Chain A
Amino acid sequence: MAHSYTPGLKVLKKTLFSKERILPLKGEVLVKQGDKLSPETIVASTSLPGNIQMLKVNNILNIEPGDVKACLVVKEGDSVKKGEKIAETAGLLGMFKSSVESPTDGTVESISDSTGRVVLREAPIPVEVDAYVSGRVGKVIHNEGIIVTSNASFIQGIFGIAGEKQGALQLVSQDPSEELTAEKITNDMAGKILIGGAFLSLEAYKKAMSCNVAGIVIGGFNYYDLKEILGYNLGVAITGTEKLKTALIVTEGYGSIPMSKATFDLLKSHNGKDASINGATQIRAGVIRPEIVIPLKDESSEDISSNVQEGIQKGSVVRVIRSPNFGKIGTVISLPAELQKMESETMVRVAEIKIDDKNFLIPRANLEMVELQ
């Protein structure tokens, strides 16, 4: 049977969500397998090596690198305080001594004979990793972190900015085609994750930031407005490290595009519940899409994993992801094998799609499967 593979974004009512919570360097895992977790539970911690200060002791004392060790009053591994003497020349008859003081609190990490440099390391920087979502410890990865698992509703967006946030979902737009305007965003929405419809303007996003909103899920946003938020033109879609109060998850794309009904309805059904979101996106090999995770109270262990389809087939529900008909949802009527000529004269494999009772031939590459479950 003819079918084709297209990337699809997940919209799952119930799935066993799991996510690695890993330290940037090896450290200590603070929880055990099966432990119950809330989003803010610290699951692992470590210390990143402190910043480095390099002292050219030979230059300061005006001596050869090989002579540095003889002048040092500290050794590798010693702790030093800011201003503490770390090297001194013998001087002339005990007079005219030159010395070097530590510019910082820290530890003497290394002393180089070949370059005459002394490396001082400042105090370690503590790093902690939290659980991100409510759930349980599914697996402990020794010295590195855990895999958190949670029975949850799970939705992927197409693009997002800013990293992980938590908050209660609050439905603001009543319809997937409704714009989420600045007037609808109020101070009492601080810490909430707002659910909008088709579009969020820059003005509305700024209002949300000023109201300390934790995140917004929206159908469409203007590409060119990102520059004002990020401070630079977003050249490649790799995000997640932006330091922004309000995370943004766009579910459909750039412009004003009604949120897909499946996504909107699922979010609406969870209005008021706590959710964890992450705007991090990486559209490259090893793709990362932004996500919305809504942990469910039901902890039943029935198989609720995603039922991933093989690809687009006759009867599949698909979304058109390029103009014309951008954003529209339709049903696949047929998948002709022969290449077809488009208006652009491009020869492509197409699918025949029914949209609002009209049939269209659309390149298969311009279709995206809509996963419904």
Chain B
Amino acid sequence: MSKKIKSILATDCGSTTTKAILIEWKDNRYRLTFRGEAPTTVEAPFEDVTKGVLNAVMEVEELSGRTILNGDEIITPDNGEKGVDIYVSTSSAGGGLQMMVAGVVKSMSGESAERAALGAGSIVMDVLASNDGRLPHEKITRIRQLRPDMILLSGGTDGGTTTHVMELAEILAAANPRPRLGQNYKLPVIYAGNNKAQDNIRKTLGEISDLDIVENIRPVLEQENLEPSRDKIHDLFMEHVMAQAPGYKKLMSWTDAPIMPTPGAVGSLIEMIAKKENISVVGVDIGGATTDIFSVFEGKFNRTVSANLGMSYSICNVLAESGLDNVLRWVPFDIDHRNLTNRIGNKMIRPTTVPQSLEELVVEQAIAREALRLSFIQHKAFATSLKGVQSERTISDAFEQSSSGQSLVNMMELDLLVGSGGVLSHAPRRQQAARMLIDAFMPEGITQIAVDSIFMMPQLGVLANIDSKELKDDANQAALEVFDNDCLIRLGTCITPIGKAKPKSEMAQISLSFEDGSTKKVAINEGSLEMLEVPYEPVKIEIQPSRGIDVGAGKGEPLSSTIYGGVVGLIFDGRNRPINLPKDSSERIQNLLNWSAAVNEYPKGDLF
């Protein structure tokens, strides 16, 4: 039997910050012991992602007193005093994967191709389809302009007509697209369409592109088969795109397991939580450039990436998409609009800065609410009835997709909402993270809320995915134990009655029975937000909603359950859905101040 792994160093190279964690075997279990972080060093003068890794590891060294580095090298294995047993890493420091997808019918194979690309973690720049209304030369011009990193071509059911998918292939061939980065390799094209057309596809695209052929994404009309395409995209992403990030090849040579893209690692961890606890989960990872949302409803996993919604590189795009007014509605003080847009612009061009003043923090958290809200709208539109490897759909479902696209996400069904990413995980007060999540996602009924305490879900995700026989068992054990003990911080539970109610009228009456035998009664009134400090322990709850109000059991129907507190506690949200803020500025500011005060969100002082 191989030696027990005693120490694990894991890093996550984000687009803004590189995070390192040290996991050690102590008292017969794995615990997170130290962490460090440093700006990601893709910028001049360093232009080498490993510099940021070494900086973050040096912080771990300084704090732990343990020697991990020998110059610019990580010492492995652990010799008791120095080094670590294994080193793993995730990375999103490649600027993202930019893909173009093509399908014969936009709402069928086009949509399946888009779903596969998104599931693999890419940004979809455009969906080409035979019926997208554009003329061939317009499509050709578009392909040339966009210069994607990769193209996924699909279309036709197996054995069916090949004409339309061949037309698309001919358009691609005529465009002779060049990859975004570098001249010396051909653009990767994945063909995942009608198997009968494979030979002709090879003839048409084999010369001008780096062609890979995988199983049809839509072998029959009622079935989706996304996995082969997703796997291939992932392989090519590692080979072609991430390897373009400066220093990345060196980083690959250091790790004991393949480097995973950050969103892939976080997603697998979210899936693990949902399976383990048999619940519906929404997870979000809000980064500097992109926001990823993961959901598991009815056991079905979905992921979307909002390419240009993030807190630094893309912060101005949040402003552009949501509008300044939507951001400012969350800010409880008057602020000069022009000055504010300049400040946000400065965050975009200097993405690694942190809010030093309270005013800066409040504005940043207001922007985060909008980035999260917009990303979730996109997620709901994409998270339709996908079943992973093979999804059975009826033809009528397929026709409905484009218009409905809302089949899976049901906020009343949601059990757990998990936030991660700097703005949530590093919020100075946990109440701020809870408020951002509730205001943006607007959970309904009873929903538990948590954050990734120090943003280590990516690192734990890669640990949980290690395939190597020698390392697998210990690495999985470490991922689970650290996850249970150190990663997820349970913030508490949000109780939100829904339905038509007059302002300030009572929406629900609640009876709480605590572990120590004490009881408490609470009323939720329309427009209010209240908090009760309760630690992470079971609390019996009985809810009697008013007539026409639903908390999960149906309008006016009572509900009994067991809920949990947390570091924030129980939050009673009477703000109905969607949360509407008063148009009148002074009334809006007063509401915001009341809600902030109710949950002790910000330090008391000049602003609050």
Give me the interface of A with B, judged by CB distance under 8 Å.
Answer: 4-10, 22, 24-26, 49, 51-54, 65, 109-110, 112, 114-115, 117, 119, 121, 144, 156, 158-159, 222-224, 232-237, 253-255, 281, 283-287, 289, 306, 308-309, 321-324, 326, 337, 342-348, 362-363, 365-366, 368, 371
| Interface contacts beyond A109-B174, A366-B353: sample of 9 additional A-B pairs, CB < 8 Å, sorted by A | A4-B38, A5-B52, A22-B183, A53-B137, A54-B170, A222-B338, A255-B343, A344-B355, A346-B426
| A365:B342 contact, CB within 8 angstroms | no
Q: B464 an interface residue at 8 Å Cβ cutoff? A: no
| B346:A322 contact, CB within 8 angstroms | yes
Taking CB as reference atom, which chain B residue is nearest A256? B342
| A337:B62 contact, CB within 8 angstroms | yes
| B183:A254 contact, CB within 8 angstroms | no
Q: B213 an interface residue at 8 Å Cβ cutoff? A: no
Contact A233 to B320, CB < 8 A, known contacts A224-B338, A337-B62: yes
Bits for B156-188, please: 1 = Cβ < 8 Å to A, else 0.
Answer: 000000110011001101111010010100000
| A283:B174 contact, CB within 8 angstroms | no
Q: How far is the CA of A285 from the CA of B181 in the complex (A)?
A: 12
Q: B302 an interface residue at 8 Å Cβ cutoff? A: no
| B343:A236 contact, CB within 8 angstroms | no
Q: Which residues of A contact B15 (CB under 8 A)?
A: 284-285
Q: Which of B317-359 contact A (CB under 8 A)?
A: 317, 319-321, 338-339, 341-358
Contact A287 to B319, CB < 8 A, known contacts A119-B170, A344-B358, A362-B356: no
- CB of A310, distance to nearest CB on chain B (Å): 10
- CB of A344, distance to nearest CB on chain B (Å): 4
| A322:B39 contact, CB within 8 angstroms | no
| B316:A223 contact, CB within 8 angstroms | yes
- CB of A141, distance to nearest CB on chain B (Å): 9
| B343:A363 contact, CB within 8 angstroms | no
Contact A26 to B183, CB < 8 A, known contacts A114-B200, A324-B357: yes
Point out the residue from A4, A54, A342, A362 that lies within 8 Å of B174, measured CB to CB. Answer: A54
Q: Which residues of B contact A347 (CB under 8 A)?
A: 428
Point out the residue from B43, B171, B356, B428 that lies within 8 Å of A322, measured CB to CB. Answer: B356
| A344:B428 contact, CB within 8 angstroms | yes
| B360:A322 contact, CB within 8 angstroms | yes
Q: Which residues of B contact A253 (CB under 8 A)?
A: 342, 345-346, 349-350
| B174:A119 contact, CB within 8 angstroms | yes
Q: How far is the CA of A104 from the CA of B308 in the complex (A)?
A: 40
| A5:B136 contact, CB within 8 angstroms | no
| A342:B356 contact, CB within 8 angstroms | yes
| B342:A224 contact, CB within 8 angstroms | yes
| A346:B341 contact, CB within 8 angstroms | no
Q: Which residues of A contact B314 (CB under 8 A)?
A: 235-236
Contact A5 to B38, CB < 8 A, known contacts A233-B319, A235-B314: yes
Point out the residue from A10, A52, A345, A368 that lies within 8 Å of B428, measured CB to CB. Answer: A345
| B317:A255 contact, CB within 8 angstroms | no
- CB of B184, distance to nearest CB on chain A (Å): 9
Q: How far is the CA of A362 from the CA of B354 in the complex (A)?
A: 10
Taking CB as reference atom, which chain A residue is nearest B242? A285
Q: Which residues of A contact B175 (CB under 8 A)?
A: 52
| B93:A285 contact, CB within 8 angstroms | yes
Q: B209 an interface residue at 8 Å Cβ cutoff? A: no
| B354:A366 contact, CB within 8 angstroms | yes
Taking CB as reference atom, which chain B residue is nearest A363? B354
Q: Which of B353-392 contact A (CB under 8 A)?
A: 353-358, 360-361
Q: B95 an interface residue at 8 Å Cβ cutoff? A: yes
Q: How far is the CA of A199 from the CA of B338 in the complex (A)?
A: 14
Q: How far is the CA of A9 from the CA of B44 in the complex (A)?
A: 8
Which 4 residue pairs spanning A and B have beta carbons closest together?
A235-B317, A223-B345, A345-B428, A233-B320
Taking CB as reference atom, which chain B residue is nearest A6? B39
Q: List 27 A-B contacts (CB under 8 A).
A: A7-B43, A7-B44, A7-B46, A51-B137, A52-B175, A53-B137, A109-B174, A223-B345, A224-B341, A224-B342, A232-B320, A236-B313, A237-B316, A254-B349, A283-B349, A283-B351, A284-B313, A285-B246, A287-B44, A324-B356, A326-B346, A344-B355, A344-B357, A344-B361, A346-B354, A347-B428, A368-B350
Q: Which residues of B contact A234 (CB under 8 A)?
A: 316, 320
Q: B575 an interface residue at 8 Å Cβ cutoff? A: no
Q: B42 an interface residue at 8 Å Cβ cutoff? A: yes
Q: Which residues of A contact B603 (CB under 8 A)?
A: 345
| B174:A346 contact, CB within 8 angstroms | no
User: What's the interface size class on B, roughly?
Assistant: 35 or more
Point out the residue from A49, A65, A306 that lies within 8 Å of B163, measured CB to CB. Answer: A65
| B360:A323 contact, CB within 8 angstroms | yes
Q: B45 an interface residue at 8 Å Cβ cutoff? A: yes
Taking CB as reference atom, which chain B residue is nearest A114? B166
| B246:A286 contact, CB within 8 angstroms | yes
| A52:B356 contact, CB within 8 angstroms | no
- CB of B335, distance to nearest CB on chain A (Å): 12
Q: How far is the CA of A49 from the CA of B175 in the complex (A)?
A: 9
Q: Which residues of B contact A52 (CB under 8 A)?
A: 136-137, 140, 174-175
- CB of A281, distance to nearest CB on chain B (Å): 8
Q: How far is the CA of A56 from the CA of B396 in the complex (A)?
A: 32
Q: How far is the CA of A40 from the CA of B308 in the complex (A)?
A: 37
| B360:A236 contact, CB within 8 angstroms | no
| A8:B45 contact, CB within 8 angstroms | yes
Q: How far is the CA of A274 from the CA of B567 in the complex (A)?
A: 63
Q: How far is the CA of A231 from the CA of B426 in the complex (A)?
A: 36
Q: Which of B585-600 contact A (CB under 8 A)?
A: none
Q: How far is the CA of A117 from the CA of B167 in the complex (A)?
A: 8
Q: How far is the CA of A346 from the CA of B428 in the complex (A)?
A: 5
Q: How far is the CA of A245 from the CA of B51 in the complex (A)?
A: 39
Q: Which residues of A contact B320 (CB under 8 A)?
A: 232-235
Q: How far is the CA of A159 from the CA of B345 in the complex (A)?
A: 10
Q: B41 an interface residue at 8 Å Cβ cutoff? A: yes
- CB of B436, distance to nearest CB on chain A (Å): 15
Q: Which residues of B contact A4 (CB under 8 A)?
A: 38, 55
Q: Which residues of A contact B321 (CB under 8 A)?
A: 235
Q: How far is the CA of A210 from the CA of B429 in the complex (A)?
A: 52
- CB of B428, distance to nearest CB on chain A (Å): 4
- CB of B175, distance to nearest CB on chain A (Å): 7
Q: B245 an interface residue at 8 Å Cβ cutoff? A: yes
Interface hub of A52, A65, A121, A287 (most chain B Cβ within 10 A): A52
| B342:A222 contact, CB within 8 angstroms | yes
Q: How far is the CA of A5 from the CA of B39 in the complex (A)?
A: 7
Q: How far is the CA of A112 from the CA of B204 in the complex (A)?
A: 10
Q: Which residues of A contact B343 (CB under 8 A)?
A: 254-255, 323
Point out the residue from A121, A285, A309 that lies within 8 Å of B245, measured CB to CB. Answer: A285
Q: B289 an interface residue at 8 Å Cβ cutoff? A: yes
Q: How far is the CA of A4 from the CA of B94 in the complex (A)?
A: 23
Q: Which residues of A contact B246 (CB under 8 A)?
A: 285-286
Point out the residue from A7, A158, A286 that lies within 8 Å of B95, measured CB to CB. Answer: A286
| B170:A233 contact, CB within 8 angstroms | no
Q: How far is the CA of A371 from the CA of B339 in the complex (A)?
A: 28
Q: Which residues of B contact A54 (CB under 8 A)?
A: 136-137, 170-171, 174
Q: How far is the CA of A269 from the CA of B536 in the complex (A)?
A: 66
Taking CB as reference atom, which chain A residue is nearest B605? A343
- CB of B314, distance to nearest CB on chain A (Å): 5
Q: How far is the CA of A250 from the CA of B366 in the complex (A)?
A: 27
| A8:B44 contact, CB within 8 angstroms | yes
Q: B244 an interface residue at 8 Å Cβ cutoff? A: yes
| B42:A286 contact, CB within 8 angstroms | yes
| A223:B354 contact, CB within 8 angstroms | no
Q: Which residues of A contact B244 (CB under 8 A)?
A: 285-286
| B170:A115 contact, CB within 8 angstroms | yes
Bits for B26-45, please: 1 = Cβ < 8 Å to A, else 0.
Answer: 00000000000011011111
- CB of A159, distance to nearest CB on chain B (Å): 5
Q: Which of B77-110 contact A (CB under 8 A)?
A: 93-95
Q: Which residues of B contact A309 (CB under 8 A)?
A: 45
Q: Which residues of A contact B426 (CB under 8 A)?
A: 346
Q: Which residues of B contact A348 (CB under 8 A)?
A: 354, 356
Q: Which residues of B contact A51 (CB under 8 A)?
A: 137, 140-141
Q: Which of B113-137 contact A (CB under 8 A)?
A: 136-137
